[in-house]
Amino acid sequence: MKSTVLGYGIGTSAVAVALLATLAVPPIRAESPTALFLVAVMVASWHGGLGPGLLATALSAWAIDYFVMPPAFAMAFGLGDLTRVAVFVLVALLINSMNARRRSLEEALRQRADGLAEADRRKDEFLAMLAHELRNPLAPIRSAVHALGHRDDDPAVTRARDVVERQVRHMTRLVDDLLDASRMTRGRIALRKEVVDLATCVAHAVETVRPLIDARGHELSLSLPSEAVRLSADPTRLEQVLANLLHNAAKYTEPGGRITMAVERDGEAVVLRVLDTGIGIAPEMLPRIFDLFVQADRTRDGGLGGLGVGLSLVRNLVEQHGGTIRGLSAGPGRGSEFVVRLPMTSEEERAEESPGPPGRGVPGRRVLVVEDHVDSARSLAQLLASWGHEVRLARDGHEALAAVDGFRPEVVLLDIGLPGMDGREVARRLRERPGEDRPVLVALSGYAPDGDGLRGRCDEFDRHLVKPVEPDALRELLALPPSACGGRAHKDGPTIGRTTWRSTGHPMTETEHSSS
């Protein structure tokens, strides 16, 4: 209703303006007395539609005949007036038709945009779900490989284990790239900043990429400033930036090449350079190398492949840290250089520096693993047993609640997606129990804790681990005292001894093993 009234108001106002302007400017009145009225009809038809256009036509015909054409202030309607009205009506019809077509195209464009947005949303959900489903089989494989690492095998078994470990690591990286691409497009990569030592981040990144560098026979050179360089950054994400750049340099450099990472201070900023003697980048590709799913020529990369997510993610993370990144290359076959510039910490941030991470000594603990995926549960329990922990398995929420009463675990590794009573409900019930010896509750999920598939925050849990669980992350978590994880300490302290897989009526928990 409001739009209709507005359309008629525009038509009336346009005619009034045309009349005033025609009367106020004698040359217009003398040479083109109908021109402005024609414009008024066009404006009314475009903004209001056919009705306001016809109203403007009628008002214009009356105003021209009564005020503009001689004799003034008299009506003398003749053939010329009829012709003028017919022209105005035709113009109104034409403009209305064009406007209707425009609105139809706009509606079609809006519907298409909505469809693309919905398809993009479903794509992101699919990527998150795919990453979750791929992590489920990866979790038991990784745990089993690490458990095998503690045994003395013949060389053939050792080589086979190393192959599996490398491929699991590569598959995990691809899954993480998929999930990061989904998060990045939705702006869901959240940083957990703290004051970090850049040299430590560089060391961790080099450690991550070292297997690939060694496998391809590259020479790696590091150049770091003598004084400590501290940044306000998310250490995990900063290490990811450095590792991605080193990984690309190793992947796109022919075996036996040279890779250099140089760090230097530049005023209140730090500049990191990663140079290689690799295949280089074509000039036409340089403006696009940071776009999502874009890759340079891969015919000479040894078939290592990838998804084209790494550099796009690197740029996103660097910019979230307040920095910039540039890619440089003299052309194909002449290597490449990536330059990252990041702001250093202020004096206030340095003063608030938090203490470093705990040591790696892991005391034996009672650990309850609640997981309905048989292989995942077995392999994770075997890994924990090899570390000297006492482990019990439960397959669903009811078994878990019953096991807590008799086993009194210090740590509960709890899968969120349990059948029947899910992990959140189990955690809620454990939290509601009276007493001072509540175990540390650790969520296990194929989803990341910052929103990819987790409906709401997991406030019922003290910690969150993403499948496949990183053994080092699990080891460090178990090394923390319960108070540091959010749980309450048990009065009888940690225990080291027999790892028990009690029978609870399911095949996966019917065997007993001794921890070595």
What average pLDDT does the segment 475-490 reach?
66
Q: Would you say residue 406 has pLDDT above 70? A: yes
Pure H helices in 216-363 = 235-251, 310-320, 347-351
pLDDT the model gives residue 329 = 93
pLDDT the model gives residue 292 = 72
Q: Would you say residue 499 has pLDDT above 50? A: no
Q: Where are the beta strands (DSSP E) in 29-135?
A: none
Q: Is 479 exposed, middle or buried (0-12, 13-18, 19+ CB in 10 A)?
A: middle
Q: Would you say residue 357 has pLDDT above 60? A: no
pLDDT the model gives residue 503 = 30
pLDDT the model gives residue 448 = 58
The rounded distance, in Å, linking the Cα atoms of 286 and 296 is 9
pLDDT tens profile 74-103: 666 667 777 877 888 888 888 888 888 888
Q: Which range has the worst mean pLDDT, 51-60, 75-84, 255-264? A: 75-84
Nearest to 404 by CA among 433, 384, 425, 375: 433
In the chain, where are the structural domains located?
2-113, 194-351, 366-509
Q: Is 254 exposed, middle or buried (0-12, 13-18, 19+ CB in 10 A)?
A: middle
Residue 263 and residue 241 in contact, taking contact as beta carbons nearer than 8 Å: no
DSSP category for residue 332: T
Q: Is 253 exposed, middle or buried (0-12, 13-18, 19+ CB in 10 A)?
A: buried
pLDDT the model gives residue 245 = 94
Q: Would you say residue 178 has pLDDT above 80? A: no
pLDDT the model gives residue 508 = 38
pLDDT the model gives residue 278 = 93
Q: Would you say residue 462 has pLDDT above 50? A: yes
Q: Would you say residue 134 has pLDDT above 90? A: no
Task: Name residue, tokens 């690591």.
Answer: 169
Q: What percent of the chain has pLDDT over 90?
A: 21
pTM across the whole model: 0.49
Q: Would you say residue 311 has pLDDT above 50? A: yes
Q: Would you say residue 358 has pLDDT above 50? A: no
Alpha carbons within 13 A on the beta-carbon side of 36: 23
pLDDT level of residue 158 (50, 70, 90 thresholds): confident
Would you state the CATH architecture of domain 194-351?
Answer: 2-Layer Sandwich (3.30)
The rounded distance, in Å, linking the Cα atoms of 299 and 320 is 33
What average pLDDT does the structure give for the chain? 79
Q: Would you say residue 450 has pLDDT above 70? A: no
What average pLDDT does the segment 389-418 reach?
89
pLDDT the model gives residue 369 = 93
Give the β-pairing of 336-343 and 324-328: antiparallel
pLDDT the model gives residue 496 = 31
Q: What percent of the chain has pLDDT over 70?
A: 79
Q: Which range has the worst mean pLDDT, 253-267, 291-305, 365-379? A: 291-305
Q: Which range has the worst mean pLDDT, 137-141, 231-235, 488-492, 509-513? A: 509-513
What average pLDDT does the segment 201-217 reach?
88
Which is it for the CA torsion 453, 456, 457, 460, positive or negative?
negative
Q: Would you say residue 500 has pLDDT above 60? A: no
Fold entry, domain 366-509: Rossmann fold (3.40.50)
The rounded distance, in Å, linking the Cα atoms of 496 and 325 is 50
What average pLDDT does the segment 175-202 reach?
79
The rounded distance, in Å, linking the Cα atoms of 238 and 321 is 9
Q: Which range has the worst mean pLDDT, 117-126, 279-288, 322-331? A: 117-126
3-class DSSP assignment, residue 386: helix
pLDDT the model gives residue 96 = 81
- Tell me if domain 194-351 and domain 366-509 are identical in fold: no
Residue 412 and residue 437 in contact, taking contact as beta carbons nearer than 8 Å: no
What average pLDDT does the segment 52-62 reach?
87
pLDDT the model gives residue 483 = 60
Q: Would you say residue 511 has pLDDT above 90? A: no
The rounded distance, in Å, linking the Cα atoms of 407 and 425 is 20
The count of residues in the chain is: 516
